[in-house]
A and B are shown apart, each in its own frame.
Chain A
Amino acid sequence: MQPLRATRATASDPHAGTPPRRDPAPSRLSYRFHRLWLTPLYRSLLRVGIPTFLILTAAGWYFANPTNRFAIAEKAAEIRRSIETRPEFMVKLMAIEGATPVVDAAIRELLPVEFPVSSFDLDLAAMQAEVAALDVIRSVDIHIRPGGVMQINVVERVPALVWRARDRLELIDATGHRVATVTDRVARPDLPLVAGQGANLRSAEALSLIRAAEPLGARLRGLVRVGERRWDMILDRGQAILLPETNPVSALDQVLALDQAQDLLARDITHIDMRNPGRPTLRLAEPAVAELRRIRSLTLE
């Protein structure tokens, strides 16, 4: 319950006997300043405009001096360099995988990198493009392995054919892409030989023909692309099988079947013309023609 009597004022009342308080009224100046401060324009000017202006002016004055600009660029470059050359980012050696010693040496010669080097200074994409430009390389993948190793994974092209071009002898892979140049056919006796202009463009067909000519064994000498249009299969003893433009493999199968049945290729024949598969034509050797004429001229007496 509230007491009925009000609390008594005592002699120690703070209002009694204290010196007169300072005048609470603001001075004319502070009053005006307060009003100015409450004006939105001045307020935004003071809080945003002037600091921005001061900062921009100071920055502009500082950068107007070329020495300062140079010093800042220098400092930035120095900091950048110090970070780049930290041991975590250094590449110490190059490791090439999947390459034969010759290709390995070629790649090393192609990429003259002075180790150790910072990984920031290595342009991996350009190096990859450079290595991939080599004919012998089918695919290449360059990356920096943890531990500061530049790893180059290489897949080499596998030569599938020896192509005798107009004036040189080249190895090509199954897709017809050049792999390397050889000086001599004897360097790769294990690979079949193709010849003629445009032979490399149809290397898949050539390979399938060579697979189909398996029964001929060592008699097969090679394939000749004729007029960039069709294949001739060259056998030893100067024999040749002239294959059609379309479906050469079935035409060859036909010839092999004939050979199996009638021992065709063992005979004295120079050319088996399958250019029109519906009408195989044989060209006999000169003695055989004479013999045939002789036999035909024989009459039963």
Chain B
Amino acid sequence: MTELYQQQRAMRAMRRAAMQRGVIAVLDIGTAKIGCLVLRFDGPETFRSVDGVGSLAGQSAFRVIGAATTRSRGVRFGEIDAMQETERAIRTAVQGAQKMANTRVDHVIATFSGASPRSYGLAGSIDLAGGAVRDDDIARVLAACELPPIGEGREVLHAQPVNFALDHRSGLSDPRGQIGNRLSVDMHVLTVDANVVRNVLYCINRCDLELAGIASSAYAAGISALVEDEQELGAACIDMGGGSTGLSIFIKKHMIYADSVRLGGDHVTSDISKGLQVPWATAERIKTFYGGVYATGMDDRERIEIGGDSGDWEKDRRTVSRSELIGIMRPRVEEILEEVRDRLDAAGFEHLPSQQIVLTGGASQIPGLDGLAPKILGQQVRIGRPLRVQGLPQAATGAAFASAVGLCLFAAHPQDEWWDFDIPADSYPARSLRWAVKWFKDNW
């Protein structure tokens, strides 16, 4: 745990160094594509004169100056499967973004969707010695959380305090300076497979880059696709990627649950490929051009030429109606959504005051999904696109870039995590000295 703590602290220091230098890259390692955005930080309100309107969600401090995306290789289910291939794909994306930005980036914040994330809700409480809550009290209460056995070979990716309670008052976001006797905290811990993180680290190091932060893509997609009141009142963001579908639940602007379903758009493609006996690339093209989940009468008449190059005339002249294509796609999409529904039920999503569900990610662009999803997930479903950030090219504003854009926001304003506070053990002697002073005061 301490090793991880040090590692995460090192990453935070790296992020600060990158901010100092002004250029940082974000890297979204997905199953379908690898996207790289280069951000330039010039301090707040540099690109726009102050006109009374404040900065746009605090994200006007940066500007996207380079963007590149490439087809992903060697990634399955959001996890790195073939290291050399992935490294090459990362190199392609980073080089393209660097070329567009015309600058060199050394620090990168990465995100990935797989690694079977698992959420834990932790609680800890301490007795306050001096009455008012101070910084080291926060650190102490965070340290007081008992970590459940997270399993062999797993590591903590996020450890965010989501709620503080002081005596009987709960729902405090920042208890510092308040008076009370007992401080308790609820912490959300997200653990992932350590090997996956190690692979990502290795790939990025092989590209001569330094990792300045790492985030779960479900979390990143949530902070970019959910609007502010959804984050406040409670919502789930479902990031439908290529190899896995991430879901994150937000309330009071904190992520309280994240999970991922190892199903995604690539499974739909593979179904089409198998069902129609076409190559993968053709299946992908047919899916993106003609795909859908609702068949109408006209779709029976629309014939899609599948093509082929076997030399057999009969095989190469095959056509398929759009209804048949939809008939292949729909069960798989339903399966994904049902799986998501199960996860949401397991997380107790129905107990949230607001049950907004936002679908984003590349696979959410299937036509008709906004009609199908409410049948499975509930009535409050919308298709979300990521927030607009300055300088983002038009090509990168689609739903597929939700986690990349979310990572930009994460880079600019990271949530306080457990490792942002000093280790309380360091301040132990000071505390005992204070206790001694207090004892003197009380008894003399």
Interface members, chain B 265-298 (any A CB < 8 Å): 281-282, 285, 289-290
Distance of A32 Cα from B88 Cα, bound (Å): 13
Closest residue on chain B to residue A13 by CB atoms:
B307
Hey, what's the 0/1 contact readout for B78-96 against A, CB within 8 Å counting as 1? 0000000000110110110
Q: Is A64 in the interface zone, CB < 8 Å from B?
A: no
Chain B residues with Cβ below 8 Å from A16 are 282, 307-309
Number of A residues near B (Cβ < 8 Å) is 21
Most chain B CB within 10 A, of A9, A10, A39, is at A9
Cβ of A17 and Cβ of B304 under 8 Å apart? no
Q: Is A38 in the interface zone, CB < 8 Å from B?
A: yes
Q: Is B305 in the interface zone, CB < 8 Å from A?
A: yes
Q: Is B335 in the interface zone, CB < 8 Å from A?
A: no
Cβ of A11 and Cβ of B316 under 8 Å apart? yes
- A-binding segment of B42-50, B99-107, B235-243: B99-107
Cβ of B304 and Cβ of A8 under 8 Å apart? yes
Q: Is B302 in the interface zone, CB < 8 Å from A?
A: yes
- B-binding segment of A20-28, A90-98, A249-257, A275-283: A20-28
Q: Is B208 in the interface zone, CB < 8 Å from A?
A: yes
A5 → chain B closest CB, angstroms: 6
Q: Is B260 in the interface zone, CB < 8 Å from A?
A: no
Distance of A187 Cα from B288 Cα, bound (Å): 126
Chain A residues with Cβ below 8 Å from B207 are 31
Cβ of A31 and Cβ of B281 under 8 Å apart? no
Cβ of B289 and Cβ of A28 under 8 Å apart? no
Most chain B CB within 10 A, of A17, A23, A35, is at A35
- Contact of A38 (CB < 8 Å), options: B89, B103, B281: B103
Chain B residues with Cβ below 8 Å from A5 are 302
Closest residue on chain A to residue B102 by CB atoms:
A38
Distance of A8 Cα from B290 Cα, bound (Å): 10
Q: Is B199 in the interface zone, CB < 8 Å from A?
A: no
Chain A residues with Cβ below 8 Å from B92 are 24-26
Distance of A13 Cα from B309 Cα, bound (Å): 11
Distance of A181 Cα from B308 Cα, bound (Å): 125
Chain A residues with Cβ below 8 Å from B281 are 15
Distance of A8 Cα from B319 Cα, bound (Å): 11
Chain A residues with Cβ below 8 Å from B285 are 9, 15
Interface members, chain A 9-52 (any B CB < 8 Å): 9-11, 13, 15-17, 23-26, 28, 31-32, 34-35, 38-39
Chain B residues with Cβ below 8 Å from A24 are 70, 92
Cβ of A34 and Cβ of B309 under 8 Å apart? no
Known pairs A15-B281, A16-B282; A39 contacts B104 (CB<8 A): yes
A293 → chain B closest CB, angstroms: 123
A16 → chain B closest CB, angstroms: 5
B195 → chain A closest CB, angstroms: 24
- Contact of B307 (CB < 8 Å), options: A6, A10, A38: A10
B106 → chain A closest CB, angstroms: 9
Closest residue on chain A to residue B70 by CB atoms:
A24
Known pairs A6-B290, A10-B305; A25 contacts B98 (CB<8 A): no
A32 → chain B closest CB, angstroms: 7
A286 → chain B closest CB, angstroms: 119
Cβ of B91 and Cβ of A25 under 8 Å apart? yes
Cβ of A32 and Cβ of B208 under 8 Å apart? yes
Chain A residues with Cβ below 8 Å from B307 are 9-11, 13, 16
**6 cross-chain pairs, A with B, having the tightest CB-CB distances, nearest first:** A25-B88, A38-B104, A17-B309, A25-B92, A31-B91, A16-B307
User: B residues bordering A, Cβ < 8 Å?
Assistant: 70, 88-89, 91-92, 94-95, 98-99, 102-104, 207-208, 281-282, 285, 289-290, 302, 304-305, 307-309, 316-317
Q: List 22 A-B residue pairs with CB atoms under 8 Å apart, sorted by A's residue number.
A: A6-B290, A8-B305, A9-B304, A9-B305, A10-B307, A11-B305, A11-B307, A11-B316, A16-B307, A16-B308, A23-B88, A25-B88, A26-B95, A31-B91, A31-B95, A34-B95, A34-B99, A35-B95, A35-B208, A38-B98, A38-B102, A38-B103
User: A residues bordering B, Cβ < 8 Å?
Assistant: 5-6, 8-11, 13, 15-17, 23-26, 28, 31-32, 34-35, 38-39
